């Protein structure tokens, strides 16, 4: 086997668009195998939303029926950010030619990639068309119809989680429930939820309802609790449950409104 297509990325999470790209890459000239390479951590990112093991398992499940698509552990087993040049040099010990598949949205930063000048001599770039981005002449292209993205999947999932939380609070008599959108606002979470209890005992009762109603799907990273104010840290969502007196006293709404946009 001499020629492969390398399709790397976070796959956070993987989706039908990724599957379509990998299958389309098998149609490139002389390609005998597509190697799907999940990153341990994208070199241009500081976090992953899902663990590398989960992403690896999901990718294997997606491609298990296609013997010409292999999911590799090379990068995730290194437990660190791995530049594409390192992966390419590793694969060239076994394969003669590599098509490197990237999305059109990566073209603007391609020259910033680690050892780009060396990398471009070792691979043939294949650009996946996206969002009507103009692709310069000289590049091979892959046209894939699927429009869904990992970012959109995460956002849809996040909205579902928020609805589950606010529905449960409303069902159990919480009052004045507000959701604050803090994405891209340089805050510690993507969303904050504030709700009023009817009193100290009700505050703790609402905490108990949340523990029973949204676990184990939600991971409670930390809980600060008292009868007057409970704060629940879900990683990307903070839930504040306060008695009316404490809500007026600390006025979290004003603070959060100055950071992001409020949704009722």
Q: What are the chain's domains? A: 3-148 (3.40.50.620), 151-263 (3.30.460.10)
* Under 8 Å between Cβ of 116 and 106: no
Residue pointed to by tokens 């000289």: 138
pLDDT the model gives residue 152:
63
Strands 3-9 and 237-242 come out as: unpaired
First and final C-alpha spacing in the chain: 58
Count how many Cα atoms sit within 13 Å of the Cα of residue 246 in the half-sphere of its side chain.
Answer: 18
Residue pointed to by tokens 């009762």: 205
Spatial CB neighbours of 132, under 8 Å, sequence gap ≥ 6: none
CA distances from 189 to 7, 195, 208 (A): 31, 17, 22
pLDDT per residue, tens digit, the chain (264 aa), is 799 999 999 888 888 888 989 999 999 989 999 999 999 886 666 666 778 898 999 999 999 989 999 999 999 999 999 999 999 999 999 999 999 999 998 898 999 999 999 999 999 999 998 877 889 988 999 888 655 555 666 677 788 899 999 999 999 999 999 999 988 777 888 899 999 999 999 999 999 999 999 988 888 989 999 999 999 999 889 999 999 999 999 999 888 887 754 444
The tokens describing 231, both together, are 């704060």
What distance in Å separates the CA atoms of residue 76 and residue 38, rounded to the nearest whole number? 7
Helix axes 150-171, 200-214, angle to 10 degrees: 140
pLDDT the model gives residue 145:
64
């Amino acid at each position: 086997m001499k020629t492969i297509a390398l399709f790397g990325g976070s796959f956070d999470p993987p989706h039908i668009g990724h599957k379509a790209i990998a299958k389309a890459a098998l149609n490139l000239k002389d390609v005998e195998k597509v190697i799907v390479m999940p990153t341990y951590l994208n070199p241009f990112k500081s976090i992953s939303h899902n663990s590398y093991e989960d992403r690896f398992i999901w990718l294997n499940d997606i491609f298990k029926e296609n013997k010409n698509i292999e999911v590799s552990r090379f990068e995730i087993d290194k437990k660190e950010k791995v530049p594409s040049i390192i992966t390419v040099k590793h694969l060239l010990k076994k394969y003669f030619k590599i098509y490197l598949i990237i999305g059109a949205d990566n073209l603007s930063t391609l020259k910033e990639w680690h050892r780009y000048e060396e990398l471009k001599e070792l691979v043939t770039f294949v650009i996946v068309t996206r969002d009507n981005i103009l692709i310069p002449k000289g590049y091979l292209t892959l046209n894939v119809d699927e429009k869904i993205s990992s970012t959109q999947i995460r956002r849809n999932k996040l909205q579902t989680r928020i609805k589950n939380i606010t529905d449960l609070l409303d069902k159990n008599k919480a009052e004045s429930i507000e959701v604050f959108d803090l994405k891209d606002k340089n805050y510690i979470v993507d969303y904050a939820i504030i709700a009023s209890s009817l009193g100290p005992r009700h505050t703790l009762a609402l905490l108990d309802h949340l523990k029973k109603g949204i676990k184990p799907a939600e991971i409670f990273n930390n809980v600060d609790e008292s009868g007057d104010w409970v704060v629940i840290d879900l990683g990307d969502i903070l839930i504040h449950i306060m008695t009316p007196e404490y809500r007026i006293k600390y006025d979290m709404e004003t603070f959060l409104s100055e950071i992001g946009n409020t949704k009722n």
